[in-house]
């Protein structure tokens, strides 16, 4: 028996399907956006907080940021080894881990890397939170790792010459050098008790983050190629620890669809009665 | 669908196309935000409805085809279009609801003012250094050693530019130094990024505070070299009046 089709049914079904695809595409997480932020996804199970080579890192979205030689304040440098850094983040709801990955032709004891964050809601200049003329700046929180130390350091600064370790050391770090690439993982609890010194990560909220890398290769002078303010830097980008999945927007959308359908039914019925 | 609806539909589409594609290309104009376009289209629709309902006859002529379309009395191809509209409307409402309630994956928007107003003491200063070839070349030399790492060959593409956001200014671009007075550049070079007011987001800029490393006279010479090298002329009071 031949199927009886209402005229025009097939194309409007196709059109609705197309709209459905568009909606689905819109709902996809925007992980592929150009790197202006680092997104730390929420993971279940063990966080690779002390293993820069853990397989779990392959599942984390990667962002890449260009690096500049530090020319903002003296002592300057004009050529740096790290031209960019790749950054990944993961968290388990309690601890956040951030993996920094960059090329370096040689492993040296003075190789070092750092992450920098603003503290609280006060804006701070990316260059060690230096004072600004018309804006009251805040402190910065710096997470520092140096190869020969083999551990992380939790530092604070509010202007040049004020960099010093916090009395409380909450940051851990571990670096692994493989095939001309440093992989350094930093970790810390999402929140600490030291709100005046430490950046606090609230899942779902964007924080400011900046990067620094030192190539510690020993030069003929006996000094490292990059040291102190002679380093590769970035200015501020964004970091976010993802919030747990929130399905309420889908519920609201379904409710809205139901209400709109109900409105249509009532309207058409009343119009038909009226006519 | 009734000829009475054709003109309002054409008018609405024309206004949308005008706002979306023509207005941004007018002199001294810019693309309109979608919220503003939506507002204009709502005003247009409201105007059309008010106009169409001025009398009982015009009201019936306007709404009659719509009601017949919605109830399926129009028949023919329009009955298929009716199903499409009835299916799309709830989907659109659901989509809008999702969009307004779901948390955004995008970082916070930044409304950074690129050229904020300078402090009063830097308004209208004139360059006290004689515009001689020697002074221009001296300024270009300072530019090469101090400024070119970020600002490059006056194009904002120096070797040290890549990591900075906002990027260093491109002086060949007509929207930078060509539309500014020399006094403005003097303020920006002397006080650097940290001298910006809050709307300039001073915490993001890498521009050094050159007053710590250069004399005022040298800064004025750099400004001369910068305009000459970029092939631009400073805006003057005469031109801005």
Domain with B34 in it: 3-101
In a domain, B106, yes or no: no
Put simply, the answer to whether B98 touches A249 (Cβ < 8 Å) is yes
Indicate whether B1 pLDDT > 60. no
Within a domain: residue B110? no
Contacts of residue B101, Cβ cutoff 8 Å, sequence gap at least 6:
A248, A249, A252, A253
Strand-pairing partners, residue A41, are A90
Mean pLDDT of the A239-258 span: 95
Q: Identify whether B186 is part of a domain.
A: yes
B55/B16 same-domain check: yes
Q: What would the pLDDT profile of B211-238 be if each residue is shown by its tens digit? A: 999 999 999 999 999 999 999 999 886 6
Residues B217 and B140 in one domain: yes
Rounded distance, CA A179 to CA B34, Å?
Answer: 49
Residue B40 belongs to a domain: yes
- Is there a single domain that holds both residue B91 and residue B139? no
Residue with tokens 């002529």: B61
Q: How far is A167 from chain B (nearest CA, A)?
A: 26
Question: Given B79, B160, B203, which is nearest A137 (Cβ)?
Answer: B203
Are residues B89 and B128 located together in one domain of the fold? no
Question: What is the spatial distance between Cα B93 and Cα B114, in angstroms, rounded to a whole number?
Answer: 38
Segment A92-98 shows an average pLDDT of 97
Q: What pLDDT does A252 receive?
A: 96
Minimal Cα–Cα distance from A273 to chain B, Å? 10
pLDDT above 70 for A21: no
ipTM, two decimals, is 0.81
Residues of chain B with Cβ-Cβ distance to A84 below 8 Å are 162
Q: CA-nearest residue of chain B to A82?
A: B163
At residue B34, the pLDDT reads 85
Average pLDDT, integer, range A134-145: 95
A28 falls in which pLDDT band (50, 70, 90)? very low
For residue B214, being part of any structural domain is answered with: yes
Domain boundaries, chain A: 33-241
B13 domain-assigned: yes
Quote the pLDDT of residue A27: 39
Residue of A8, A70, A208 to mutate, testing the B interface (most B Cβ within 10 Å of its Cβ): A8
CATH of the domain at B149: 1.10.760.10
Give yes or no: residues B94 and B164 share one domain: no
pLDDT in the model for residue A237: 96
pLDDT above 70 as % of chain A: 87
Q: In chain A, which residues have their Cβ closer than 8 Å to the Cβ of B88?
A: 15-16, 19
Q: Based on the fold, state whether residues B182 and B128 are members of the same structural domain.
A: yes
Q: Calculate mean pLDDT across residues A186-211.
A: 97
Mean pLDDT score of chain A? 89
Q: Is A8 on the interface with B (CB under 8 A)?
A: yes
Greater pLDDT, A239 or A8: A239
A127–B206 CB contact, under 8 Å? yes
Split into its structural domains, chain B has a count of 2
Given a cut of 60, is residue A51 above it in pLDDT?
Answer: yes
* Preferred mutation among A32, A68, A240 to probe B, highest tally of B CBs within 10 A: A68
Same domain as B75, residue B8 = yes
User: Residue B237: its pLDDT value, please?
Assistant: 63
Residue A7: pLDDT above 50?
no
Residue B45 has pLDDT above 90, yes or no: yes
CB contact (8 A) between residue B149 and residue A69: yes
pLDDT surpassing 80 at residue A71: yes
pLDDT, averaged across chain B? 91
The answer to whether the beta carbons of residues A88 and A62 sit under 8 Å apart is yes
- A275: pLDDT strictly greater than 80: no
A112 interfacial to chain B (CB closer than 8 Å): no
User: Of B218, B225, B226, B231, nearest to B136 (Cα)?
Assistant: B225
CATH class of A33-241: mainly beta
In Å, how far is B206's CA from the nearest CA of chain A? 5
DSSP secondary structure code for residue A65 in this structure: E
d(CA A174, CA A180): 17
Q: Is the dihedral of CA B4, B6, B10, B12 positive or negative?
A: positive
Q: pTM for the whole thing?
A: 0.79
Q: Between A192 and A275, name the one with better pLDDT.
A: A192
Tell me, what's the pLDDT at A232? 98
Same domain? For B214 and B159 the reply is: yes
Choose among B104, B136, B122: nearest CA to B195. Answer: B122
The percent of residues in chain B predicted with pLDDT above 70, rounded, is 97
Chain B residues lying within 8 Å of A271, measured CB to CB:
67, 70-71
Nearest CA of chain B to the CA of A238: how many Å?
7
Which of A8-17, B4-13, B101-110 shows the lowest mean pLDDT across its residues?
A8-17
Q: Which of A12, A23, A126 sits opposite B203 (nearest CB)?
A: A126
pLDDT at B202 over 90: yes
- Residue B113 located in a structural domain: no
Q: Are residues B81 and B129 in the same domain?
A: no
Tell me which range, A205-214, B49-58, B93-102, is most confidently predicted by mean pLDDT: A205-214
| A262 close to B (CB below 8 A) | no
Q: Do B208 and A67 touch (CB under 8 A)?
A: no
End-to-end, the C-alpha distance of chain A in Å comes to: 38
Contact B84 A7 (CB under 8 A): no
Chain A residues with CB inside 8 Å of B160's CB? 68-69, 71, 78
Question: Which of B70, B97, B108 minimises the CB distance to A252?
Answer: B97
Q: Spell out which residues of chain B touch residue A11, defining contact as CB-CB under 8 Å.
A: 80
Q: Are residue B235 and residue B141 in the same domain, yes or no?
A: yes
pLDDT higher than 90, residue B72: no
**Which residue has better confidence, A196 or B103?**
A196
Can you tell me the mean pLDDT for A42-59? 95
């Amino acid at each position: 028996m031949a199927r009886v089709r209402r005229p025009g049914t097939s194309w409007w079904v196709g059109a609705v399907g197309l709209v459905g695809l568009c909606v689905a595409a819109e709902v996809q997480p925007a992980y592929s956006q150009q790197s202006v932020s680092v997104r730390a996804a929420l993971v279940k199970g063990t966080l690779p907080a002390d293993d820069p080579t853990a397989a779990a890192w392959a599942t984390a979205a990667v962002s890449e940021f260009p690096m500049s030689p530090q020319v903002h304040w003296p002592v300057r440098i004009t050529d740096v080894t790290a031209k960019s850094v790749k950054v990944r983040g993961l968290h388990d709801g309690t601890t956040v881990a951030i993996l920094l990955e960059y090329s370096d032709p040689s492993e040296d004891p003075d190789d070092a890397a750092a992450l920098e964050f603003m503290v609280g809601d006060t804006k701070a200049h990316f260059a060690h939170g230096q004072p600004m003329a018309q804006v009251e700046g805040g402190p910065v929180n710096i997470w520092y790792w140096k190869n020969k130390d083999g551990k992380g350091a939790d530092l604070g600064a509010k202007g040049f010459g004020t960099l010093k370790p916090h009395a409380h050391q909450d940051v851990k770090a571990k670096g692994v050098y493989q095939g001309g690439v440093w992989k350094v993982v930093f970790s810390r609890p999402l929140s600490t008790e030291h709100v005046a010194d430490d950046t606090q990560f609230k899942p779902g909220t964007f924080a400011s983050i900046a990067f620094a890398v030192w190539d510690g290769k020993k030069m003929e002078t006996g000094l490292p190629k990059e040291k102190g303010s002679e380093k590769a830097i970035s200015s501020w980008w964004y970091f976010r620890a993802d919030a747990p999945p929130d399905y309420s927007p889908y519920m609201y959308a379904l409710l809205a669809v139901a209400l709109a359908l109900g409105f249509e039914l009532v309207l058409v019925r009343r119009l038909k009665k009226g006519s | 669908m009734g000829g009475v609806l054709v003109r309002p539909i054409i008018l609405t589409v024309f206004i949308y196309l005008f706002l979306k594609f023509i207005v941004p290309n007018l002199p001294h104009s810019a693309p309109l935000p979608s919220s503003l376009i939506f507002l204009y289209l709502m005003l247009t629709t409201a105007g059309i409805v008010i106009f169409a309902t001025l009398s009982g006859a015009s009201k019936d002529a306007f709404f009659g085809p719509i009601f017949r379309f919605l109830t399926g009395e129009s028949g023919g191809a329009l009955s298929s279009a009716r199903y499409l509209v009835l299916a799309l409307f709830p989907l659109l409402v659901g989509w809008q609801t999702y969009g307004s309630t779901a948390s955004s994956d995008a970082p916070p928007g930044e409304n950074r003012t690129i050229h904020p107003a300078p402090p009063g003491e830097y308004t209208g200063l004139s360059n006290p250094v004689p515009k001689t070839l020697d002074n221009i070349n001296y300024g270009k030399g300072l530019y090469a050693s101090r400024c070119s790492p970020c600002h490059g060959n006056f194009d904002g593409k120096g070797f040290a530019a890549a990591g900075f956001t906002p990027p260093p200014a491109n002086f060949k671009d007509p929207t930078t130094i060509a539309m500014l007075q020399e006094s403005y550049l003097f303020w920006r070079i002397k006080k650097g990024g940290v001298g910006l007011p809050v709307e300039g987001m001073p915490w993001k800029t890498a521009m050094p505070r050159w007053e710590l490393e250069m004399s005022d006279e040298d800064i004025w010479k750099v400004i001369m070299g910068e305009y000459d090298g970029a092939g631009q002329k400073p805006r003057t009071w005469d031109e801005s009046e």
